[in-house]
Chains A and B, each alone.
Chain A
Amino acid sequence: MSKYQYVPEPALVKGDHDFASITHLVTDVNLRPTPKAWYLLMLPANALLGLLLVSIGYLIWEGTGIWGLTNPIGWGWAIINFVWWVGIGHAGTLISAILFLFRQDWRTAINRFAEAMTIFAVMCALIFPAIHVGRIWVIYWVFPIPNQMVMWPNFNSPLLWDVFAVSTYFTVSLLFWYVGLVPDLATLRDKASDKMRQIGYGLFSLGWNGSNRHWWNYEKAYMILAGLATPLVLSVHTIVSFDFAVSVIPGWHTTIFPPYFVAGAIFSGFAMVLTLMIITRKVYGMEDIMTNDHMEKMNIIIMVTGSMVGFAYMMEFFIAWYSGVEYEKAIFILRATGPYAWAYWIMMTCNVISPQFFWSKKLRTNVTFTFIISIVVNIGMWFERFVITVTSLANDYLPSSWDYYSPTMWDALTYIGTFGLFGTMFLLFLRFLPMIAIAEVKAVLPQADPHNYDDNGTYHAPVEEIPEHVTVAKSNNA
């Protein structure tokens, strides 16, 4: 008997599925009549979207004075919400690009879904920098296009870098998502029996016919896009962190910000994917494809990135002390004990303590527990951005100008409204587009591997070779 256990690789798709049943399972959601529950969910989503539009309309009419911004706290919920939503978006790119480069085949079950989340989250994020400028009618001054002052944008400014980073990120994510969708839209076109859908899906599938000469270029394009999106996603949150790190403000002016922001972004994004996935797979019966193994793997990523974020929090304290700068030391002590200590400890509890539960296999494979933690993590990550933004501004160099920041109703309504935009887009996505990358899931089925067929063309399921004298570990939910 060896002390080692053989851990079998869990099957990516559970149940007795073949190519046709995968096609049917996924496309049927789009092809069957709209369920009543969809309309019931669309109602509150649209109501919140309306709320967002009203809040934005009033903001443009009245000005940023309707928000809780004061002197010295010139950045409030708008930047917090922007960073929060962009961070959530990063998980989609991580799943679709970075896990692709690492050949993690389990990503195929969730990548379409997570990329959709990325796009809608970035849409919500983009609203805030656009509307916070005050005079939104001159927003084009941030772009390098001629204006009435004959001036050009300041290319030394991190805020300008942000314009380029986030708009590039949105465009590339959209292209990546669309490239992935084309073969699946062709599947929908071929499955649809009514003229409307045939024309609609037909148009957007661009006449894709599954030619292997096409797949050959397609796979190359997909790999290159993954290679481009990987440094892009890291650069985006790095540049977002520069918005803070380049300013000479205590608590902001640190070199740890870029990696720490990226880890936090992935942390919150995975939590959001899990929140959405756990509901969606239940409602649409996709548990065969989005399995508990996926959930467990994502929980491990949450645990790792959560620990990185926790490490960064402690490192900030250490460096503040080690730097010997009085202001730097003061701000960290104020964060933990000052007027915003409540927010700081919410952040610490949600981000540092809660993911540590996932060391337990029992807890990280528990659906209800995962769902709760996934929401807790996103609350924590919102408070992280609150703590960073508000504490450093409220308590800076000059104690005589210190002030306490309180948001107004409009801050809250605008933020709540973005959930309406996100929810509306997500529901439309679930209704009209395949929520699972059909072609990619088929390609990771054992039936897709030509080596699993004998010379007569009969399929034989692959048998794992277990070394002698080794016991086999029990696999999850087998």
Chain B
Amino acid sequence: MSAETKKMYGILAEFNNPKELIDVSKRVVELGYDKFDTYSPFPIHGIDKAMKLEKSKLGWIVLGHGLLGFSAAVTMMYFMSVIDYPINISGKPFFNAPAWVPVTFELTILLSAFGAVFGMFFLNGLPRFNHPLFTIDRFKRSTDDKFFVCIEATDSKFHADQVHEFFKEAGAAHIEEVYE
């Protein structure tokens, strides 16, 4: 199957350093593209502003999980120690709130951590093993020492010729079309 019969995913441009990536991201945003992404071996300081990324929603996911952990812990202990099988231990109250602090705290932390890790992968759409970009050999260096921008074909302003022209003028070290 030749490349032309496949659906285009986008156009990928390679850059040599984080500064060039930030500069080109700013221009991509200025030109009005919103279906694009940049790829780098490490998070770059200030790229969120250049790409105009919205604040991550992860904090809310973690908060929800934390509250769930907190209430689950208290409910569990209340059910077990007060309702289902109360045991008199050295005359301590069945509802012994101070003694329940450690378990409540630990379960709050545990559920929050689950929220943070799995929430992050969920927001990122991972795991995803088959990405069109993985067909590009040079893209392997996005986890090593190169910096990439990809403007996706689904963007309403996407015209292959214009994007090619733009990347060339922006000083990309290499430009390549990506097919699904």
Query: Quick one: which of A168, A208, A212, A219 contacts B109, CB cutoff 8 A?
Result: A168
Question: In the complex, which residues of chain B have a beta carbon less than 8 angstroms from the beta carbon of A449?
Answer: 18, 45
| B-facing residues in A426-478 (Cβ within 8 Å) | 438-440, 442-443, 447-453, 457, 459
Most interface-central of B16, B44, B126 (chain A CB within 10 A): B126
Residue B19, interface by CB 8 Å: yes
Bound CA–CA A459/B18 (angstroms): 10
Binding site for A on B (CB under 8 A): 16-20, 22, 37-48, 51, 53, 56, 58-59, 62, 76-77, 80-81, 84-85, 87, 89, 92, 96, 99-100, 102-103, 105-107, 109-110, 112-114, 116-117, 119-121, 123-124, 126-131, 133-134, 139-145, 148, 171
Shortest distance between the CB of A186 and any CB in chain B (Å): 5
CB distance from A106 to the nearest CB of B (A): 16
Q: What are the residues of chain B within 8 A of A214 when measuring CB–CB?
A: 124, 126
Is A218 positioned at the interface, with any CB of B under 8 Å from its CB? yes
B45 partner residues in chain A, CB cutoff 8 A: 448-450
* Other 10 A-B pairs with CB < 8 A, given A156-B89, A212-B39, A213-B53: A19-B145, A158-B102, A187-B41, A206-B128, A211-B38, A212-B38, A212-B40, A215-B47, A231-B109, A447-B17
A217 CB–B CB distance under 8 Å? yes
**Interface hit among A220-228, A337-345, A349-357, A407-415:** A220-228
Is B120 in contact with A450, judged by CB distance below 8 angstroms?
no
Chain A interface size, as a band, is 35 or more
Residues of A within 8 A of B (CB): 18-20, 23, 144, 150-156, 158, 160-161, 164-165, 168, 171-172, 175-176, 178-179, 183, 186-187, 189-191, 202-203, 206-221, 224-225, 228-229, 231-232, 235, 239, 242, 438-440, 442-443, 447-453, 457, 459
Cβ contacts under 8 Å, A164 to chain B: 102-103, 106-107
Cross-interface CB contact of A155 among B22, B80, B131, B143, cutoff 8 Å = B80
Contacts of B117 in A (CB 8 A): 175, 178-179, 221, 225
* Chain A contacts for B114, CB-based, 8 A: 175
For residue A176, give the distance in angstroms from its CB to the closest CB of chain B.
8
B171 to chain A: which residues have CB within 8 Å?
457
Asked if B126 and A206 sit within 8 Å, CB to CB, the answer is: yes
The closest CB in chain A to the CB of B141 belongs to A190
